[in-house]
Amino acid sequence: MLIVQKFGGSSVANAERVFNVANRIAETYRNGNSVVVTVSAQGDTTDDLIEKAKEINEKPSKREMDMLLATGEQISIALLAMALEKIGVPAISLTGWQAGVNTDSKYGIAKIKRIHTERILSELDAKKVVIVAGFQGINKYDDITTLGRGGSDTSAVALAAALHADLCQIFTDVDGVFTTDPRICPDAKKLPEITYDEMLELASLGANVLMNRSVELAKKYNVNLEVLSSLKKVEGTYVKEVTKVEKSNVRGIARDNDVAMISVLDVPDEPGIAFKVFSMLAKHNINVDMILQSIGREDKKDISFSVKSDECEDAVKLLSENNIIEARKIVYKDNVSKVSIVGAGMVSNPGVASMMFEAMYDAHINIHMICTSEIKVSILIDREYAEKAVRTLHEKYNLDK
Amino acid sequence: MLIVQKFGGSSVANAERVFNVANRIAETYRNGNSVVVTVSAQGDTTDDLIEKAKEINEKPSKREMDMLLATGEQISIALLAMALEKIGVPAISLTGWQAGVNTDSKYGIAKIKRIHTERILSELDAKKVVIVAGFQGINKYDDITTLGRGGSDTSAVALAAALHADLCQIFTDVDGVFTTDPRICPDAKKLPEITYDEMLELASLGANVLMNRSVELAKKYNVNLEVLSSLKKVEGTYVKEVTKVEKSNVRGIARDNDVAMISVLDVPDEPGIAFKVFSMLAKHNINVDMILQSIGREDKKDISFSVKSDECEDAVKLLSENNIIEARKIVYKDNVSKVSIVGAGMVSNPGVASMMFEAMYDAHINIHMICTSEIKVSILIDREYAEKAVRTLHEKYNLDK
């Protein structure tokens, strides 16, 4: 099998951990597999480099920032190659550009466009473990780019896609994907399998195991993912296209505390109002998640929506200063949480959503907003009840069984 | 003018120093020059990286070591570019491979073969200061190589040669090249000019301002060098092909304490003996400097030679264990120093060498060995008299005038 393995920065934070990772790779290699590894920068390296930059220029050019940050992964790959050599496994490290990782030119948030796999393939032919710097690539000007948050996951999935790998293993500090956060709900169970879409919803809903970009990419190229522990040697959760259909359609409960709710009250009930509100926010890079628009009455309506907590203030300020929308009042709540149930078959099972509302009613938890999609139902509730809601729902849908 | 400037690792060790360097570059740029800069890794970065590697593998592959070490300069160039941007000077950083620095494949001690200057020239055309990572290049396999000790000086000179620069300025922590070490002889004078050959002899004789490799390269491609202070804004020493011929031919006095003398006594006076001794040493990578062979008498002769201090023990052991040379006795002195007078016109001025011996005689300093070349005379004396010898010779040749 050709297997791509990805290890995060904390997995390689010091020499001892580098050897743990090396032993893990060695085992896969000695079982007769071809292995490509991507690895992030060690521990706090990236933060330290950002600190160094800020000391010199609080707003450095993004190109130079990428030039700087890319060194973090370059250090990791060299050290990991040395560790593998030390334990007798032939290995070679490759930077993003050496591995043929071509990206667009958006420094700091670059997207992989293509991977020229010749070099990797020839090193695999030579029976070497190929260690590729995650998080980085090269653009058409031959300049170094970085992929932004969670970039190493994206690198791993993109490599697996380009190499037609049999499996892409993402090693993390958790054992896999759980029915909900085990810290909130001790009965949470590890899921043996999950679909890409379910994983996408869980990720976007605050179960931060994998960044969405990498799951989207895996879905697009049908890459078999496994999310597993870098410490324990147990099977993780497989993320793939089709999983066996089960009767219980809810697969997991997610919670996201990084949410604020904003309501724009009494705006004119006329076409273009929603457009004005959300295009203004978009222009200022404020991402809106859930949206609720009331039915118009007396030529007025209300629009409510959720944003990330740290963008709430900016959004409110922006809307207040621009009276093009002629709102009577703008109010916000920044002490809310989003709780969601996720599962692929939910949409064809109308009872699922109402069970959720029933559970909230029984638990005396007030729902501020509801938002549904093909495979999830999300509700916005007061943050103080979020953990209670997760535990209630986990039990309600028998996820602990 | 097109000027290449080189700054060492201590010049960019922290944010404040990075700005000092940036201001120095900015001044050159604002005077209407095109500027290409090479810079070493910050302060102890390289040592820290070596430490990290040794923790994992005490004998890592040289390829991976170069992959690791090259990050040091990549960090420096990015930070320096950010500092220049901060003070309003357009700048761009380039790694060795981006700058087109092609080397052979001897990892750790690579030699520059060619520099493809297209990228640098196009950035210069765009009125940018181009900051090139020193010490590194890329080989024919697209793998990163490093140039070994003093590599950034070599990078600077090679860039100046490839770009046909008008001047290559090497910024150091001294004001230039002196007639001798100012710490030994307070009367030492800064030389306004010196020839490549004189510089080569001074460097190899322990006046460690510039590594020999870079001076050799400068000589080969006729690159005008200036060695100057990174702190004071005064002219340094120009190193070039022809300097004005002066009456006094001695330009400087050098001292090297890193010397030991070994004598192999009573070896057979027959062909091949010197070959056996020195080929054996060469095979074990022990470099021999001065060699003295006595005239044979009674079928026996003595061979004396000097080596670096830390290779003395190995050399003695090696010769003792191999009686192919049939020496009666092997003796060594590790408390010696080499003191040399250097000057381009010396050879045509026979009185110069004898003045040296006269001065030593007057100062009651015994000479163990003498070695002459086109432009230098070196003597080996007891280390305790080395500084006295330097001061005596400095005065004798009127270098303080």
Would the CB atoms of A67 and B81 count as touching at under 8 Å? yes
Contacts of A67 in chain B (CB under 8 A): 74, 77-78, 81, 93, 95
Report the pLDDT value the prediction gives residue B244, as an integer from 0 to 100: 58
Would the CB atoms of A82 and B61 count as touching at under 8 Å? yes
pLDDT single digits (tens) A287-325: 888 887 777 667 788 888 899 998 999 999 988 887 667
Would the CB atoms of A19 and B93 count as touching at under 8 Å? no
In this predicted structure, the answer to whether residue B48 has a pLDDT above a threshold of 90 is yes
CB-CB neighbours of A103 under 10 Å: 27
> What contacts A172, CB < 8 A, 6 or more positions away?
A8, A209, A227, A228, A229, A230
> What contacts B93, CB < 8 A, 6 or more positions away?
A64, A67, B74, B77, B78, B80, B81, B131, B132, B133
% of chain B at pLDDT higher than 90: 54
Give the torsion sign (CA, A215, A219, A221, A222).
Answer: positive
Contacts of A74 in chain B (CB under 8 A): 67-68, 70-71, 74
pLDDT single digits (tens) B317-372: 988 887 667 777 888 999 999 999 988 767 666 678 888 888 998 999 988 888 87
Identify the weakest region by mean pLDDT among A261-265, B106-110, B380-384.
A261-265
Mean pLDDT of chain B: 89
| B70 touching chain A per CB within 8 A | yes
> What contacts B264, CB < 8 A, 6 or more positions away?
B277, B302, B303, B304, B319, B325, B327, B329, B330
CB-CB neighbours of B251 under 10 Å: 27
Rounded to 5°, the CA angle A184-A189-A192 comes to 140
Q: Could you give the ipTM of this predicted complex?
A: 0.78
Would the CB atoms of A85 and B67 count as touching at under 8 Å? no
Q: How far apart are CA A193 and CA A208, in angstroms?
A: 17
In this complex, the residue of A15, A53, A83 whose CB is nearest that of residue B79 is A53
pLDDT single digits (tens) A103-156: 999 999 999 999 999 999 999 999 999 999 999 999 999 999 999 878 999 999
